[in-house]
């Protein structure tokens, strides 16, 4: 599942007329890069949620045939359902097995083939070094388990693998994902990895411009 329903308030005015996942880095839209990366990992059945200017996303990617994938769309009401609510809303489209979720508004060279098909516990998170704009990090990692507390924290990349059971107590509506993850962490049900390759959070117009320069120079 690619999470693409956010409004992108911090990216305004760029996102007033263009949904954030269709912004370009190195000449390619953010969401297209994810689709290509997932295909390289052998993942061809995709679910994408949308809300703000979602018709543009559907028009750009369609049913996915041009990319060698099958895309099922999960529309959300105006204002969207937040990360947890958006995933919960799409569960019926995601089959019965554990599923990958990636935020559309990141740029990374992470290889999705490195994710476990059957994660230990309820969730598996990819953590990265803390960027300058988020120095405090999110979660602690001991090499296997991810926990919410600890002296040194890493940043959640927006890439994870989840079991349906993570959402078993949820109800329809808007709600964040983090509290569900924290509850699972307290039960020892979240594992993960620390990825040290390229990863960027596209959060503001200035960051978009800076990251675009970095990516172009990498090519």
In which element (H, E) is residue 75 found? strand 70-75
> Is residue 84 assigned to a domain?
yes
CATH of the domain at 130: 3.90.550.10
Residue 114 included in any domain? yes
Structural domain count of the chain: 1
The answer as to whether 212 is a domain residue is no
Q: Is residue 40 in some structural domain?
A: yes
pLDDT given for residue 7 in this prediction: 72
The pLDDT, as a whole number, for residue 95 is: 92
Q: What is the C-alpha separation between 35 and 62, in angstroms, rounded?
A: 12
pLDDT, position 12: 74
Cis peptide before 149 (omega within 30 of 0): no
Domain assignment present for residue 126? The answer is yes
pLDDT reported for residue 27: 81
Residue 86 lies in a domain: yes
Q: What is the pLDDT of residue 52?
A: 84
Give mean pLDDT in consecutive 10-residue pieces for the chain, a chain of 219 residues: 83 77 88 96 97 93 97 93 97 96 94 96 97 93 94 96 97 96 98 96 82 76
Predicted local confidence at residue 28, as pLDDT:
87
pTM comes to: 0.94
Taking only Cα atoms into account, the Rg of the chain, rounded to an integer number of angstroms, comes to: 17
What does the alpha-carbon distance between residue 92 and residue 89 come to, in Å, rounded to a whole number? 8
- Residue 78 is predicted with a pLDDT of 87
Contacts of 112 (CB under 8 A, 6+ apart): 37, 38, 40, 41, 43, 100, 102, 159
pLDDT of residue 3: 97
**Domain hosting residue 192, numbered range:** 2-199
């Amino acid at each position: 599942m690619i999470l693409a329903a956010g409004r992108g308030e911090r990216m305004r005015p760029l996102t007033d007329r263009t949904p954030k996942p269709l912004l370009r880095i190195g000449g390619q839209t953010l969401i297209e890069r994810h689709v290509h990366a997932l295909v390289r990992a052998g993942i061809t059945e995709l679910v994408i949620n949308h809300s703000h200017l979602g018709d543009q996303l559907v028009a750009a990617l369609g049913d996915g045939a041009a990319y060698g994938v099958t895309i099922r769309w999960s529309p959300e009401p105006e204002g969207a359902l937040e990360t947890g609510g958006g995933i919960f809303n799409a569960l019926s489209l995601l089959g019965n097995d554990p599923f990958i979720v990636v935020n559309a508004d990141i740029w990374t060279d992470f290889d999705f083939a490195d994710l476990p098909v059957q994660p230990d516990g309820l969730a598996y998170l990819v953590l990265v070094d803390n960027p300058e704009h988020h120095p405090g990090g999110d979660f602690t990692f001991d090499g296997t388990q991810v926990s919410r507390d600890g002296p040194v924290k890493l940043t959640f990349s927006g890439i994870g693998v989840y079991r349906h059971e993570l959402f078993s107590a949820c109800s329809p509506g808007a709600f964040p994902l983090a509290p569900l993850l924290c509850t699972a962490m307290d039960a020892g049900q979240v594992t993960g990895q620390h990825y040290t390759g390229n990863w960027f959070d596209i959060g503001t117009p200035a960051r978009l411009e800076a990251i675009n320069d970095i990516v172009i120079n990498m090519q």
